[in-house]
Chain A
């Protein structure tokens, strides 16, 4: 059976199962089992043995710990006044801009991405605070959801990022350099979003804000807790105090400390934040673990290798190669989460990229932007799922709201391809 048949057949089966409202991790596992049984001739016993081994190994993962830690940190931050203060501090500063408070989605996501390693945590945390507030104040719903779908993914690009840690390990490049390389492109994409909001927003709904004396100082004081959080999480990494994965635990610790300073620490805070973090973290982790079995299954079926070999045979220029890789990753992004995509394909793609003379740090940033785009595309777009669950809006509407922001991020990827220095300038300046 050829790749041309197996790939589309599995994709179709997955889409059908998802449409039948099968839980996503169940659908992923069932499709993998079907793939191995039908196209590879594995017996159910052999599949069962492989499946338990992989689920056990993939779930016992130290790297995965960053996910529940960052989700928990977000839940604590949400239950204290850190995020409302961020919203309150930003509001008077951005209210005059066209798009007004919708701009807080972009800015708060960018700031929160700087402490959170995951885009799911960024989208969920910022979304829960801002979306209802924005709607209550009469702002355009599609714009506020779309901007969050886009800006929420910046968690992958703006350090610290779980995805970058995994890419750094696979590509054997410095994680600190990667972190530095993601910074400017992250800010650039945030600026593109802001610019778009300025251009597209209808006139701001009226508010009753009166700019009294010292309101800027008061706003800055409200922004202090998030600043402390950002500086301590990133500072812990760059001072060598914590590994990038441990920084998540530093984030939890600092959140508790901030809660204590602001007089908001209680046993209830621990209990409630845990009760909210466990289901969210379980939901994300179980999908990542299921995706690792899918990776193994399609690895058995030689799908990634066949596609990569096909690309290698074309003998493309480096620009052509990047274009083909971009299409390849965007296609995979429809189906899989970023970590699985990276783990599955990089062993084949990295030598190709290296042979074409492309810088591996730069490629890491480029790849992560492509993966971020995948988070905004159905059927498997994590950010869309999260926004769907927060807003209760149909998936298609959430996806439609995300389209302009998807295109802007695509523009960001193009800019970085044409001007590689956007990514390479900061690491060059810091480390060379």
Chain B
């Protein structure tokens, strides 16, 4: 059951990672398109900074779960390296629990913010007038995937099963 939850979280994280990669690609194409417009056609998209900004945050938050599963979210191994099996498991448990608590805190508050911006119809100040709940929902989605990965790993550890380090 727990293994299945972990596999499900991994699958979701991988899909979110693909979307993160597409966001990075969009960022690149956007900047190149703007440079061509500006230098060859004396024109502009006028919304470059805004959209590239959304793409940066989409990449970062959608990529979070996948980055975590690949073991690439940085942490300090100073104390960890000197510990035995039991100590290491305890530290892993604590660090996943701390990350999960923080992420749940963020999710609760992002949910509140999204509801507020949706109700108020808040849009960006640019000519694109992007409803702000859209980029906020993308961040929320990324954080939710990250939380699910953390929860699955945490439950596995509590049940005494070792998750695979890298996805």
Residues of A within 8 A of B (CB): 17-26, 29-30, 33, 44, 48-49, 51-53, 55-56, 59-62, 64-65, 68-69, 72, 241-242, 246, 248-250, 252-253, 270, 274-275, 277-283, 285-287, 289, 378-379, 385, 388-389, 394-396
Contact = CB atoms under 8 A, between A and B. Distances in A.
B57 interface: yes
Contacts of A283: 67, 72-74
Given A61-B56, A274-B24, A286-B64, A22 B75 contact: yes
Given A242-B35, A280-B72, A389-B74, A21 B21 contact: no
B28 A379 contact: no
Given A60-B53, A62-B50, A278-B24, 18 more contacts: A21-B77, A23-B68, A23-B95, A24-B74, A48-B109, A56-B135, A60-B54, A60-B57, A62-B48, A65-B52, A65-B55, A241-B35, A241-B39, A279-B63, A279-B67, A282-B64, A286-B60, A385-B74
Nearest to B61: A59
A48 B62 CA distance: 21
Give the interface SS of chain B, mostly helix, strand, loop or mixed.
Answer: helix
A60 B24 contact: no
B57 A21 contact: no
Contacts of A282: 20, 59-60, 63-64, 66-67, 72
B133 to A, nearest CB: 11
Contacts of A64: 53, 56
A22 B94 CA distance: 8
B113 interface: yes
Interface residues of B, number: 57
Contacts of A286: 60, 64, 73
B139 interface: yes
A250 to B, nearest CB: 8
B105 interface: yes
A246 B21 CA distance: 19
B59 A23 contact: no
A25 B66 CA distance: 16
B158 interface: no
7 contacts: A25-B73, A30-B102, A55-B106, A60-B135, A61-B53, A68-B59, A274-B21
B113 to A, nearest CB: 5
B72 A279 contact: yes
B24 A277 contact: yes
Contacts of B21: 274-275, 277-278
Nearest to A290: B102
B74 A278 contact: no
Interface in B74-133: 74-81, 91-92, 94-95, 98-99, 102, 105-106, 108-110, 112-113
Nearest to A25: B73
A256 B21 CA distance: 17
B3 interface: no
Majority-rule SS of A interface residues: helix
Across the A-B interface, the 4 shortest Cβ-Cβ residue pairs: A48-B109, A59-B57, A60-B53, A249-B31
Contacts of B105: 33, 44, 48
Contact of A65 (B56, B63, B74, B79): B56
A291 B11 CA distance: 30
A249 B76 contact: no
B75 A278 contact: no
B70 A279 contact: yes
A65 B77 CA distance: 29
A72 B59 CA distance: 12
A33 B76 CA distance: 20
Nearest to A59: B57
B140 to A, nearest CB: 10
Given A49-B113, A69-B28, A278-B20, A17 B66 contact: no
B49 interface: yes
B49 A19 contact: no
B75 A21 contact: yes
A71 B72 CA distance: 14
A275 B22 CA distance: 10
B9 interface: no
